[in-house]
Amino acid sequence: MPTATTVDVGAGIRAEMGRQRISMVELSRRTDIPRSTLAHQINSSNLTVNNLILIAEALGVTVALLVGEVAA
């Protein structure tokens, strides 16, 4: 079973952004996280728990869906 450190959470976020056709700029606007910080954290899968929750809320999905997207 994958652990939080082995799962590419960024892949789940990028997949959901693609499904919803949401850009990094739009996600930044919705979360109030600077675009550069958001992009770095998503691309490195080095997200804070708080930012992961904000992203899930902004996308209208659960954190489990974002993490489960790549763990399944």
Residue 44 has which token pair? 């490195």
Predicted local distance difference test score (pLDDT) of residue 3: 45
Taking the complete model, does pTM exceed 0.75, yes or no? yes
Query: What is the DSSP-derived secondary structure letter of residue 12?
Result: H
What type of residue sits at position 44? Answer: S
pLDDT by residue for the chain (72 residues), tens only, comes to 444 445 688 888 999 999 999 999 999 999 999 999 999 999 887 888 999 999 999 999 999 998 875 445
Cβ-based neighbours of 23, under 8 Å, separated by 6 or more? 17
Predicted local distance difference test score (pLDDT) of residue 56: 97
Q: How far is CA 65 from CA 34, 58, 59, in A?
A: 23, 13, 11
Predicted local distance difference test score (pLDDT) of residue 40: 93
